[in-house]
Amino acid sequence: MKKLMILAFCLLGVLSARGQEQKEYPKPKGMQPRHTEFWLPQPPVITPGSFVATVDMPVSGKVKKGQPATAPATVGASDIYVTAPSDAIVLFDGSGLEEWVGPKGAAPGWQVADGVLTIVPGTGEIGTKRVFHDFQLHIEWSEPVDIQGESQERGNSGIFLQGRYEIQVLDNYHNETYASGGAGSIYKQHAPLVNAMRAPGQWNVYDIIYEAPTFKKDGTFRTYPHVTVLHNGVVVQNHTEILGTTEYVGFPHQRAHGDGPIILQDHGNPVRFRNIWIREL
């Protein structure tokens, strides 16, 4: 009997929440995008590490013990990347977009050529067919060398975790924008700790560790989602609390949801991606 009553209460809670979702409530008036754009403090600009090739130590030879045979050579950052570990789900390895869909389930409109995925502006976002809970995501992205626009209009894209929480992708190299909208930000919530951008044409790397939220009966967070982001090997978000959806206009919303896809944003700029893989945690 007691169990039945608890079940009935739970059911009532769900039904009343659904009723609220369907009902039209007044929306806040007069909210402009600029009301949630904070420019100060700007994240400090740093230079991320480079890819360095070294040679094996000779067993015996002409070099001094403990010294490399030659000085480490810096190699082109565009030429080297680490492939997916054996337990990862490969989302894009350069060969095709079997793991992805476009808007409304259509085939993705983005271009795949030479092992690289490029946004075709105007074709809409693409998202994974699979949905995820907690995960580690690796994704590499490169900004157009043909520099156009400034602030948010330069090389903008984004990575939406569980389809709703955006980690910003932006050409933030010698291009200031509001701090909470920079590369590595949780869009309009948390600025990155530093700006670790590589120049346009080079490859940036994000390693994103995400912990999904849990919900109360009313759909708000019981435990908030958290995210750690490394940008080119540098921590830019350190187990940061995500406050809700990453809105362009207005404040974050909290709504109950299940597992969700990784969505890549089409913001009208031909940003390139490669080597995308994910490990479920």
Contact residues for Mg ion (CB under 5 A)? Answer: 156, 158, 265
CA 228 to chain centre: 10
- Return the closest-CA partner of residue 199 out of 155, 138, 150, 233: 155
- Reading the block at residue 17, the tokens are 């929440």
Question: Smallest distance, Å, CB 187 to Mg ion?
Answer: 6
State which residue, 158 or 225, has the beta carbon closest to Mg ion: 158
State which residue, 216 or 253, has the beta carbon closest to Mg ion: 253
Question: Smallest distance, Å, CB 267 to Mg ion?
Answer: 5
3-class DSSP state of 2: helix
Instruction: Please spell the DSSP secondary structure of 94-158, one letter per residue.
Output: SS--TTEE-GGGPPP--EEETTEEE--TTS--EEESS-BSSEEEEEEEE--SS----GGGSS-EE
* Amino acid at residue number 172: N
State which residue, 156 or 195, has the beta carbon closest to Mg ion: 156
Question: Smallest distance, Å, CB 79 to Mg ion?
Answer: 27
Give the DSSP H/E element, type plus range, for residue 15.
helix 2-22
Question: Smallest distance, Å, CB 166 to Mg ion?
Answer: 6
- Return the closest-CA partner of residue 268 out of 157, 160, 158, 190: 157
State which residue, 156 or 202, has the beta carbon closest to Mg ion: 156
- Closest-by-Cβ residue to Mg ion is 158
State which residue, 13 or 163, has the beta carbon closest to Mg ion: 163
| Radius of gyration of the chain measured on its C-alpha atoms | 22
Question: Smallest distance, Å, CB 155 to Mg ion?
Answer: 10
Largest distance between two CA atoms of the chain: 86
- Return the closest-CA partner of residue 187 out of 250, 246, 264, 125: 246
Beta bridge partners of 228: 209
State which residue, 94 or 109, has the beta carbon closest to Mg ion: 109
Spatial separation of the C-alpha atoms in residues 89 and 120, rounded to whole Å:
25
Question: Smallest distance, Å, CB 159 to Mg ion?
Answer: 9
Question: Smallest distance, Å, CB 152 to Mg ion?
Answer: 8
